[in-house]
Homo-oligomer: A and B are copies of this chain.
Amino acid sequence: MSKVQKNKIKKESSLISSAFELFSTKGINETSISNIVHKAGVAKGTFYLYFKDKYDILNKIILNKSSNLLIESMNATKSKNFTNYEESVLFFIDYIIEYFNNNKFMLKLIYKNLSWGILKKASNEYEGIHEIYDFFMTLYKDSAINQQDVEKTLFIIIELVGSVCYSSIILNEPDNIDKMKPILFDTIKKII
């Protein structure tokens, strides 16, 4: 990789990490492109060489962070070599919950963006995402339920986890995450 190429990547990732930190701490509406380039230590014009506008960099961040989280969770789950579906799903979910519990900023940022739409988009760009589908499908292969319903159920679970995490971790409503977890896991068990 040439020096110029390296420099470009350095600038882009500097912009991304600066934007992420500002979005997390100040909020998206309150973060301006000026803020981002200042923190990143690059010129204003440079921003537009890499991103269209604030929402472009935001979407790229969300896609990147949530894909990484899902892939990480999947790999951790795989490495455990669970033999039944339920155990796998619960471990996968718990991994995500704990991540959010330790990264409240990220939960705030990607809250309501960890959705099917994002996942589908991501699967084009991030190798590894489609593996997640495959993984869960495999686990379910002996079931009588058809594939499409498995997908929808998986979707419902992910939506549920996101909502409950946000409400309990960020707002402590209706209770903190440790109190909610048993009920949530119980609910998931009932679902699958």
A162 contacts across to B, CB distance below 8 A = 163
Nearest B residue to A159 via CB reads B163
From residue A167, how far is it (CB to closest CB) to chain B in Å? 6
From residue A168, how far is it (CB to closest CB) to chain B in Å? 9
Give the residue among A160, A163, A164 with the most B Cβ atoms within 10 A. A163
Cα separation A74 to B111 with both chains bound (whole Å): 29
Give the residue among A156, A164, A167, A183 with the most B Cβ atoms within 10 A. A156
Chain A: how many interface residues by the 8 Å CB criterion? 31
**Contacting residues of chain A (96-126) with chain B, CB-CB under 8 angstroms:** 111-112, 115-117, 120
| Dominant SS among interface residues on chain A | helix
A112 is contacted by which of B111, B151, B155, B179 (Cβ under 8 Å)? B111
Binding site for B on A (CB under 8 A): 29, 111-112, 115-117, 120, 149, 151-153, 155-156, 159-160, 162-164, 166-167, 171, 173-175, 179-180, 183-184, 187, 190-191
Additional A-B contacts beyond A117-B173, A159-B160, A191-B191 (20; CB < 8 A): A111-B112, A115-B167, A116-B167, A117-B167, A149-B183, A151-B174, A152-B175, A152-B183, A153-B183, A155-B173, A156-B160, A156-B184, A159-B163, A159-B164, A159-B167, A160-B160, A160-B163, A163-B163, A187-B191, A190-B190
Could you list 20 examples of A-B contacts with CB < 8 Å? A29-B29, A111-B112, A112-B166, A115-B163, A115-B167, A115-B171, A115-B173, A116-B171, A116-B174, A117-B173, A151-B174, A153-B183, A153-B187, A155-B167, A155-B174, A156-B184, A159-B160, A159-B164, A160-B160, A191-B191
